[in-house]
Amino acid sequence: MDVTHPSVAPLALCLGGMDPSGGAGLLRDAVTMSELGCQSMAVSLAETLQNGLACTRIEPPSMDAVHRIESLAPHLTGRWGVKLSLCALEATAFRRLCAALRHLAPPLRIWDPILAPSAGVGLHDGEDLRRMAADLLPMGGWVVSPNRGEAAAFAGLPPEAIRSASVEVLATPWLEAGASAVWLKGGHAPGDQVQDAWITQRGIQPLEATPRLAGERRGTGCLLSATWLGLRLQGRDDLGAALEAARRLRARWDQAHSPGGIGRAMFMPLSALQETP
């Protein structure tokens, strides 16, 4: 029997790391997209040994990522977008990935550049991010969503600049590399307030300042960037999606939990929150 659907869900192609615990990475992206009414497809760019305590190993995927993306190409039509995050591909493979994305021309694009998971082994340094940006950003249309540490490394600044550098100093190198917009996340800035900023060639737009919430949570960067893409796919504008993504993260902060009572808290699916008495 044929079933006619009244609408087609927008599609998000998620390219990133596989965190087996689901606190971050592709599993977190898929849950987030589902919550926002989007269909997710995913291709692993990094395999990890990771749980709520730490990430202890990161390796390139065993199967060619570009071949996997090409196999999905017939689905990538209409309203769709791509999110790029943790990537362990070597330089030649990453250039092939960028060429594939240029050909596919996703209408919406966000890059959440990751130096390392929040606890455990690292993966990239500032030079790596600059190399990736040189291959990725010239195609145009990319929103980049670094935290202050990632932005400082990209700018070649010392670690102490994470807290002291101005928004302009941290964002300008990304724009010069070809980013259409920089969503600079403010969680690593000093003080008891957190304030993101949205920066384009037209100027700096500070987003709403909010009190700093107590404790740490896993996967905040993943959740923010995935929520932004999901909201954009549902018709929100750039700034509105960034503001709403931050508000949604804050609303779920106190409902985070540690599966098995071990490690840093991760965000529960909205369906679980709605079912909790």
Tokens of 165: 């550098």
- For 7-29, how does the pLDDT look when each residue is reduced to its tens digit (9 = 90+)? 689 999 999 999 999 999 999 99
Global pTM value = 0.93
For tokens 């107590």, the residue is 214
**For 44, what's the count of Cα atoms within 13 Å in the CB-facing half-sphere?**
15
Residue-range domain boundaries for the chain: 11-275
- At residue 163 the predicted structure's pLDDT band, cuts being 50, 70 and 90, is confident
> Are the C-beta atoms of residues 50 and 121 closer than 8 Å to each other?
no
Q: What CA dihedral angle connects 205, 213, 20 and 48, to 10 degrees?
A: 60
Classify domain 11-275 at the CATH superfamily level.
Ribokinase (3.40.1190.20)
- For 53-80, how does the pLDDT look when each residue is reduced to its tens digit (9 = 90+)? 999 999 999 999 999 999 999 999 999 9
- For 172-225, how does the pLDDT look when each residue is reduced to its tens digit (9 = 90+)? 999 999 999 999 998 777 788 889 999 999 999 999 999 999 988 999 999 999
Q: Give the chain's radius of gyration (CA, Å).
A: 18
- At residue 122 the predicted structure's pLDDT band, cuts being 50, 70 and 90, is confident
